[in-house]
Structure 1
Amino acid sequence: MSTANLIRLVALAMIWGTSFMLMRIASPVFGPFLTTFGRASLGALAIYLFARSRGIEFEWKKNSKVYLIIGLGNTAVPFSLFAWSALHVPSAYMATMNSLAPIFTAVFGFIMLGEGLSWTRIGAFMMGLFGVAVLVGIGPIDVTPWVIAGVLAGMGAAVCYGFAATYTRMYAKEIPALATATGSQFAAALALLPFAAPSIPHAFSHGTAQALLAVGILGVVCTGIAYAMFFQLISTEGASKAVTVTFLIPATASIWAAIFLGEAITHGIVIGIAIVLCATAISLGLIKIPGLSRKAA
């Protein structure tokens, strides 16, 4: 990887790492749906302006169904789940759940594309779940039903990402990546509007400058600018290298949250994150385990 792209990778991890902290700030004020609607709307506008500057054609009518399904699976549902999770669990927990996305992508590759699952990937899946259990069990907060629900919501978001990634491979191969990113963000914003609308009066009366700034950064920087950076990495370095940003996000999320929200970084967090990231690396083939590469299904 070139030095310039390595810098982009680290910058992207730092940007996406802030998103969990920002949701912890915005969601209690605006609620999960309005927070996500604001993020998707601002992100859509930012990506649209960037894509138009590159001369991208969107073919809205032809690609509307693809945009909608990817928008729901990659933005509307997972962003809402994380925004709700932010009400109950620390940023490090959410970032760790996010790291499970490549593992669930492999599972959906098996379900939707008929790709074989090796014993290595099955083991990685089980290891990832064990890492989550360790994180929750010895993490810095008490295990309550709401904490468990918040963790499950984060895992649900990772499941959505896995589905969306596989669906994109199946049906969006002929659509420019930036067009897919833009169209899906607009579709997500439209889908979220009915759920976000009831919270708008509350936002006007109880919104704070800090929460508004958090939503603005989530939309323009963490979604719009970050997506543009990510697709540029994919185009120059390939998807397999670009996806390694996954390994940096839990650390950056934990650091940002510790600095600005005072969230503790404990041994439980470090151990849980390490186990999940090892599982993800195994699933991506970055760590080889001799004798376990044969197909299980």
Structure 2
Amino acid sequence: MTASSIFKLLLLGAIWGSSFLFMRAATPEFGVYALVEVRTVLATLFLAPFVLLRNQWRDVLTHWHHIAIIGVVNTAIPFCLFNYSSLHLEAGYNSILNATAPMFGALIAFVWLSDRLSRSAILGLFIGFFGVTQLSWAKVSEGDVSFLPIATALMATCCYGIAASYMKRYMSGIKPLAIAAGSQLFASIVLLPLAVLTWPSTSPSLDAWWQAITLAIACTGIAYILYFDLIANVGPARAITVAYLVPLFGVIWGAVFLSERLSMPVYLGGLCILLGVALTNGLVRQRRNT
């Protein structure tokens, strides 16, 4: 990878890692659904000019039914689930759970698309889900949170895995930027009634609005552009390694800005998850063979 690509990968990891910080801070004031609505509407407005400039809006109109499904499964549902879990879990903890998405992706692709799982991938799934168990037990045993917010975060990453297989099966010819912008648009349409019904009676503070805007523009709009640029330049196998950087930055931002301190069992569980993801996606095997 070039220095430019490495910088973009680090920047993307830092941006996506910070999204859990902003969700943790803004969700209590906006509520679960209203925050996602603001995020998806602003992200749509930000991405739309890029889609128009690259003449990809026709893809949105032609394949709207597939993009709408991705908008629900890859954006609306997981964003709401992570917003809920952020009310109860630290930003760093949520970012570690987010790293399970590639494992769910591999498992769902095996069941749905009959993708082959190597022995190292199967071992990686066992190690990764052992890490999830360790992580969950460590948090629940602290006594200040139930398993429900942990389960909702894992359901969110499972949705990402379902969406990845769906896109691989039905959307291989659709332009990525059209999927990104269109999915935000349809997610905002689907969530609009819930956002209106649950809009906070007290207007969110200026800080909360800035956090919501940053979630939309930086953590969604700019992040998607960086991610698809990386896929185009270094390939999806290397671009997906951002999954290892997101927990690192999530823990760092949580410690610096929210004074979060996670227990040692949580860190050990997180390391098991990252090792499991590395094995599941063939990163360890690839490194050994190069």
TM over 0.5: yes
Question: Which residue of structure 1 lines up, in the alignment, with residue 265 of structure 2?
Answer: 268
Matches of residues 62-81 of structure 1 in structure 2 within 5 Å?
A: 62-81=62-81
What residue is the counterpart of 2:162 in the other structure?
A: 163
Displacement of 1:121 after TM fit?
2.5
Partner in structure 1 of residue 217 of structure 2:
220
State how far apart, in whole Å, the 2-side matches of 1:51 and 1:3 are: 27
Query: 1: CA distance between counterparts of 2:59 and 2:176?
Result: 13
Change (3 A) 1:60 1:138: closer
Cα distance 1:142–1:266, how it changes in 2: closer, same or farther (>3 A)? Answer: closer
Letter in 1 for 2:234: E
Q: CA deviation at 1:244?
A: 0.2
Q: Who is 1:105 aligned against?
A: 105
Following superposition, the deviation at residue 28 of structure 1 comes to 0.9
Q: For residue 276 of structure 2, what is the aligned residue in structure 1?
A: 279
Aligned amino acid, residue 199 of structure 2: I
Q: Deviations over 1:171-204 (max 9, x none)?
A: 11111111111111101111111111112252xx
**1:288 alignment partner, SS class:** helix
> Contact 2:42–2:217 at 8 Å: present in 1 too?
yes
> 2:285 is matched with which residue: 278, 288, 297?
288
> After alignment, is 16-25 or 126-135 more displaced?
126-135
Q: 1:201 to 1:31 in 2, by over 3 A?
A: closer
Instruction: Tell me the amino acid that sits aligned with residue 23 of structure 2.
Output: M
> Match of 2:252?
255
Amino acid at match of 2:175: P
TM-score by length of 1: 0.91
Q: Is the 8 A contact 1:58 1:183 kept in 2?
A: no
The letter of the residue matching 1:287 is V
What runs of 5+ residues in structure 2 fail to find an aligned partner? none
Secondary structure in 2 matching 1:235: helix
Q: Say whether the 8 Å CA contact 2:92–2:247 is kept in structure 1.
A: yes
**8 Å contact kept, 1:140–1:264:** no
* 8 A contact 1:33–1:196 mirrored in 2: yes
> What is the Cα deviation at residue 141 of structure 1?
7.8
SS at match of 1:258: helix
CA contact (8 A) 1:137 1:143 kept: no
Does structure 2 conserve the Cα–Cα contact (< 8 Å) formed by 1:36 and 1:80?
A: yes
Q: CA deviation at 1:259?
A: 1.1
Alignment gaps of 5+ in structure 1: 290-297
Tell me which moved more, 168-177 or 266-275: 266-275
Is the 8 Å Cα contact of residues 75 and 184 (structure 2) preserved in structure 1? yes
Higher deviation after alignment, 129-138 or 75-84: 129-138
Instruction: Check whether the contact 2:59–2:175 (CA below 8 A) recurs between aligned residues.
Output: no
> CA-atom RMSD, angstroms?
1.8
Identity value in percent: 34
SS of residue in 1 equivalent to 2:88: coil
Distance 1:52 1:120 in 2: 43
Q: Which residue of 2 is the match for residue 46 of structure 1?
A: 46
Mapping of 1:1-297 within 5 angstroms? 1-139=1-139, 142-144=142-144, 146-202=145-201, 205-288=202-285
Query: Could you list the per-position Cα deviations for residues 117-160 of structure 1 after superposition, in whole angstroms to 9, with x for gaps in the alignment?
Result: 3343232222112112222333598245x441111111101100
* In structure 1, C-alpha distance between the alignment counterparts of 2:206 and 2:198, rounded to whole Å: 17
1:252 Cα offset (Å): 0.3
Deviates more, 1:133-142 or 1:77-86: 133-142
Maintained 8 Å contact 2:93/2:262: no
Deviations 1:41-70 (A, max 9, x none): 111111212222333233444211111111
Is the CA contact (8 Å cut-off) linking 1:105 and 1:162 kept in structure 2? Answer: yes
Cα distance between partner residues in 1 of 2:217 and 2:191 = 17
Give, in whole Å, the separation in 2 of the partners of 1:261 and 1:90.
9
Asked if the contact 1:92–1:269 (Cα under 8 Å) also holds between the matched residues in 2, the reply is no
1:182 aligned partner, one-letter code? A
State how far apart, in whole Å, the 1-side matches of 2:263 and 2:86 are: 19
Partner AA of 1:227 in structure 2:
Y
